[in-house]
Structure 1
Amino acid sequence: MTPHRRTLSALLLIGVLALTGCATHEQPAPAPDQGSAFPVTVTPKGGQPLTLTAQPKRIISLSPASTEDLYAIGAGGQVAAVDKLSNHPAQAPRTDLDAYKPNVEAIAAKSPDLVVAYYDANNLVSGLQKLKVPVLVLPAANSLDEAYEQVSLLGRATGHAAEADKLAAQLKAQIAEVVAKTPKPARPLTYFHEVSADGYTLTAKTFAGQVYSLFGLGNIADSASAAGPYPQLSAEQVIKADPDLIFLADTKCCQQSPATVAARPGWGTLKAVRGNGVVALDDDVASRWGPRVVDFARAVGDAVSKAH
């Protein structure tokens, strides 16, 4: 398998495992008249400009992270349907729509005036364009700044620009506060972020990896960054690196826990295991670049504080 295909396979695996997650930053329902901001043109990073002539009233979200963003900025009342993995917030109109194998006819049958996706599969974009349905593709954020920008972009696309900009600023400030209040360890700490029990992880060149970096943590997978932002490490590599902290982002998908990690052959002697440094995360919170990234930062900060 070529490096490109390995990277694509890894990214798809990360998506399937990660994008399974009520926003904690919900805003009031949209005001009756938000139409004065339209027409509006929005341009995702690396994407094509999209012009919306009127405020969308029937939005379909095929991205769990974007679903959380939409509700957090007050656009939840405009959401007509979400994909089957968009399990947060609870009131989101969840359907059997599949973001990985989207059915253009099934989506169009719900009469959307805007479709938000993070992945263009099964000719989703071209198929909906033929039906004159606007599609906004917001890929997985590679950094916190990209996550904040997606919040603001969704705000402009839905008529909630002020609410979205306010939320983005709040998220940035809250994360900075968590970092500032977390005691700095006496020595640099290392970590392993487990996406799946077969060794898939992430590097510092991801939005989650950037959160860890804010706390001064060193990623043991960065040496494997040539394999892409989501490399696979062997058990031997993890054992040799002997990280101070292990963060489990596979507690829901794969039923992993500090106990299962300690029971793995050779893992019981790791510093993270012996020092109670194996941290069970919520898979969704740890993998979505939406408003709950603050909760993820708090979990990391708590772990660093205990290891201090």
Structure 2
Amino acid sequence: MGRQQVALVIHEGVQALDVAGPLDVFAEATAALTSSEGYDCLLLASDTAPLRASNGMAMIPHLSFRQAERQFDIVLVAGGPALPDAEPDAGMSNWLRSWGAQAGRYGSICTGAFALGHAGLLNERVATTHWQNAAQLAAQFPACRVEHDRIHARDGALVTSAGVTAGIDLALALVAEDHGAALALACAKRLVVVAQRQGGQSQFSPLLLPHGDPESPIGRVRDHVIHHLAEALSVDRLAEIAGTSPRTVARLFVKELGQTPHDFVESIRIDHARNLLEATDRPIKTIAFDCGFSSPQQMLGAFQRRLGLSPLRYRENFRSFPSDTRS
């Protein structure tokens, strides 16, 4: 494989790590390869005037869209905090439709997915973005199937990543695809990151509890569950709290929250367990019972199913107390 031509699309207010992370991965890979291999990376924007990233850093594009009217091997759009609510950039959309989609692989980092959506490149495709913006992406571009929990996603030539540092994961995956897992691992070690992290991005997102009338049936159930996690919270018990039949409370949960009563209770238990794993050194067995799981094994299964990693690994990743603690 010869040298890969990479275009990274930037814009005013871009997230600096969305740019620097992938570029550093490609630079590390290039340094380890022969001169006839590797990656030539260029920053593209509406014009070549300096841009200011969301953290205040100045960036200077190598080429304007007009100067970059040619095919690249890889095209990625970097995200930015303001991008989901920004008006579509006509110049960017036109270039992405004309040249971005012609690349062997094209896609986005973080909220750069919104730029792809405005260009019509997410229709009937699978994509991901930052967990905080995934619901908005799905609502704004209903023809796209948004994967809320993926660190990065691949749908044919389309590659998209979750938020910020997930762009590093995506770039490492592309390097592995081009030059093998060993080189991707070597790059990850140089950058002091994991070559392939465990679990999805749900492990980084807080549980978004539903709001609403606290005196409504769902409101009463929500309040009771939060304060009585250790109880046996069957559908019959939730119906009793809501003052409805089991069938009615199940229907209300699906209609108002988009999930079953069982899934709702499990979500609350997992989120409380996450908080205890992060902030205390209590044994995992104790946390499991305190959060209403019947056993540590049941909590393990729930964590693996929802977050893609074990409670122990979650604690190792996110604990806020010294590491010489009990597990």
Q: Which of the pair has the greater relative contact order for Cα pairs under 8 Å at 6+ separation?
A: 1
Q: TM-score, with normalisation over the residues of structure 2? A: 0.29
Q: TM-score, with normalisation over the residues of structure 1? A: 0.30
Q: Which structure's CA Rg is the greater one?
A: 2
